[in-house]
Chains A and B, each alone.
Chain A
Amino acid sequence: MKKILFLLIVPALMLSSCIEIIDDLSLNLDGSGTFKYTVNLSSSKVKVNSILALDSFNGKKVPKIEEIESKINQFRELLTLEKGIKSVQTEFNKVDFIAKITVDFSSLEDLQAGIKSVLTQLDSSIKYSEDDTAWITWDHKSLKRMIPQLVEERIKNETQSDQALLNTGSYTCISRLPKAIQNTSNSACKLNPTKTAAMLRVNTLDLKLNPSLLEHTLTLSP
């Protein structure tokens, strides 16, 4: 999985390229819902293709496109077996380098535990401790969201990026809730006219400098 993250996130950041991430969560009243995560590298496909043509890049082996596809499939199969995960769909556009995952889950705890479990199964070097902060918390009255720890670490560790062009990348966080949103803790967060959905978009350079930009709590109307 690290290889996939390496391919999908690191080169895009490091090579002064543009990355688009969409983190989309739809929640039902009982806490179940659908999670969609999309990584779009199509505006950097020349660079990604160039890297894929190499055997190694910055001292690390570059995976073949088939290996990436196989890892994505493995991720889907393992996640399907996790507790509380109802269905998992993946899609990988290898021409434009867009990867999508859609997961139906029973609860946010099951979703996050499932993802952590699969990531550690796929790559034993990824370690999660019991007290790792959840990146989504829900108490039926409010929803708190932040950047996933693994993505944050990847972005933070990147030092060689061309900051001016990194500025063109974006991380979009969308939350769809079963009731109207009364207020949001982050003024950059946009609500739709019916106030049942919120969208927060942050550019990747700002996110690298300040990961808390993505943090927000949405409080529902009573």
Chain B
Amino acid sequence: MDMKKLVFLWLLGWQTYLWSQGAEQLIPSQAVTVFSINNTDLLQKISIDEWITYDFMEEIHQELFDKSTENKTVKDAGLDFDQRLSLFYGKTPYYEVTGFTFGIKDKNALFKVFDDFENMPSPYEGVNIYQSLFNNLLIEKNKGLLIRVEPVEVFLNQQTDSLWYSRGNLSPFYAMDEDQFMDEEELVVEDAQKNLLEKNYYELRDSLQFEFQKKYYHDVLNGLLKQRKSLYSNDSVFRELLTHPSAGVFYMDNSRNIDRAKNLWYLKTVLPTLYLDVQELYDGNIITGDLILQESSVQFNLNARYSEALGSIYNEMNHAKFDPNIAPYIRSNQPAYFTYNINLRSAYEKAYDVLVPILSKAKDPEISFNLLLLKLGNALVNKDAVFDAYKGSLFMTFNGIQKVKTRKITFFYDEQTFEYGEKETEAEEDMPIFTLGFTTKRNDLPEMVLEHFSQVTSKFENKGDYWVYNKAIFDAAPVFLINTKGMFILTNDQDLAENHRDGYGKEALSKRMLKTLKKSGTMAGFANLQQVAQKFPSDFLDPSQQQLMEFLRNKTGSVTLKSGETTTHSTSVTLNYSFNDTEKSGKHFLDLLNTLYLLTK
């Protein structure tokens, strides 16, 4: 073989290698969370109009909400389903980056859908850049990246304030309040006196936003396309994850996501004031997951990796057996329940051993004082009493909506004069019914506290076998406190307090379910999606939770959760979403993906 042939074959090989690299290589290194979907026939059949109803498609809604998508499937949009479709999100203290990566099979077809994009000059070799009003589309060979970079609002406001006040301006809000009390003439005079070239607060903010957007967009792209640093090249865990054959994978680097970490609550439980001081524990805390599409279910296998220090605490925490006292208080037809079972004492002792050396290194006086309190607490407090009072096992149930008795004021009328007066009468209002129960070896302690409260306020009433805290919820509805047989239960379920203080008997969980719970390790849960979503009063949730509830409302099926093996390096959790209509399994897959997206957003 002569040299020319060799060079040709090498070039051909290199070209093939470059083209065969997946679009996920265009995910910037700043991405903290990634959902990546594999090619499946099921997903290709879903229409674009259906895809864009999902919240995870929010970023490109603006591009797709027009006639260009009518009656088209994702396959018709020119996407290459031999490559993964990945959506990513990342946040630094200064900016947020969101976007999609995807493979491209037919560029013409793609631009029939993305029909609002204009070609822009590109400083990056081999990369074409297109921009629309909202998004940036970058195409490198057969790979596409749709990306948006926005400055973080808090940072932007800080910068705007700093510049605004350094120019000698008063508070913009103060000025706006003043305007309300000025008449039309005064406002005209004030406007005439203004220097039109001087920006007001919001114009200044807009300008800064534009500049920061431009700067951080270039920073992200330079890193990705000039220095060739992507999440794929930087993180071996992410690279390994993409080799999984499952229908979808999930990645979250919690060590870069510490302020949004939603699993810090357990540490708060163990050491409430110190959890923020222990960020170094989170080194290597990466959560990955596989979404496995089956005939009538989608299984989500989650694996959390962590540092040895954090892992040793988890490991001790998991040395706990399921408390059988809990089982009688969960009905077999409960719309939703959750059990949590840890060995709090072992976890505390391990956390103490791990944290004290970490905190001792800190020079910060506040941390040092917290450390002193921790050491004093450890030396002086009767730990047997503390951990007998709360061992670490609890359960929560959602019992649907019930009418609860409240008091209301009504007006009564004198038929002779139509004069009216107020009278207090009984009323009924719909209320979600929750129960929260802890296992305890020290039933005497809650009893002592309740006795004390009942002497201080008449709102606490001893009913013999249980207590009532009247008007506890919003000064209207009661809470019942049941202190019995190794359990302390708080509930607004009158039926439980009056008729089921010893549990639900035959209506409680079956032996088979109980066996599953015992095997589930630290966490186990169940939710009948339709019952929960329909019965839960979503009006009282915040907008993102409302969005999730609204989304779940039309779903059928159930979700079960159980934790798996825990080692000093990782722990696993399995979430299974089963459904009845198997012909729509692709759609159910996207449903679950969307739910996870909303939960991690």
Contact = CB atoms under 8 A, between A and B. Distances in A.
B297 to A, nearest CB: 34
Of B407, B416, B474, the most chain A CB neighbours within 10 A belong to B474
Contact of B406 (A14, A46, A53, A193): A46
A46 B431 CA distance: 8
Interface stretch (A36-44, A103-111, A126-134, A213-221): A36-44
Given A46-B429, A192-B417, A199-B413, A15 B408 contact: no
B342 to A, nearest CB: 30
Nearest to A197: B418
A192 B375 CA distance: 78
Given A15-B539, A174-B418, A176-B418, A47 B411 contact: no
A40 B411 contact: yes
Contacts of A96: 408-409
Interface in A12-53: 14-15, 20, 22, 24, 38, 40, 42-47, 49-51, 53
A6 to B, nearest CB: 14
Contacts of B17: none
Nearest to A194: B416
A45 B543 contact: no
Interface in A168-222: 172, 174, 176, 192-194, 197-199
A193 B416 contact: yes
Contacts of B475: 45, 49, 95
Contact of A124 (B180, B413, B539, B542): B180
A159 to B, nearest CB: 14
Contact of B476 (A49, A57, A176): A49
A192 B477 contact: no
A195 to B, nearest CB: 12
A59 B543 CA distance: 7
Contacts of A14: 539
Interface string B83-127: 000000000000000000000000000000000000000000000
A45 B476 contact: yes
Nearest to A199: B418
Interface in A56-107: 56-57, 59, 93, 95-96, 98
Interface in B399-435: 404, 406-411, 413, 415-418, 420, 422, 427, 429, 431
Interface string B468-487: 00000111110000000000
Interface residues of A, number: 36
B418 A192 contact: yes
B476 A46 contact: yes
A20 B422 CA distance: 12
B174 interface: no
B418 A46 contact: no
A46 B543 contact: no
A43 B420 contact: no
A55 B475 CA distance: 19
Nearest to B473: A46
Contacts of B411: 20, 22, 38, 40, 172
A96 B411 CA distance: 13
Contacts of A93: 409
Contacts of B180: 124
A54 interface: yes
Interface in B511-529: none
Nearest to A52: B474
Contact of B477 (A43, A46, A53, A95): A46
B406 A50 contact: no
Contact of B415 (A40, A51, A192, A198): A192
24 contacts: A14-B539, A20-B410, A42-B408, A43-B406, A43-B410, A43-B429, A45-B406, A45-B474, A46-B473, A46-B474, A49-B476, A50-B474, A50-B540, A53-B474, A57-B539, A59-B543, A93-B409, A96-B408, A98-B409, A98-B422, A176-B418, A194-B416, A197-B417, A197-B418
A-B pairs, top 4 by smallest CB distance, nearest first, are A49-B474, A43-B408, A42-B409, A42-B408
Given A38-B411, A46-B431, 6 more contacts: A22-B411, A44-B429, A55-B542, A56-B543, A193-B416, A197-B417
Interface of A: 14-15, 20, 22, 24, 38, 40, 42-47, 49-51, 53-57, 59, 93, 95-96, 98, 124, 172, 174, 176, 192-194, 197-199
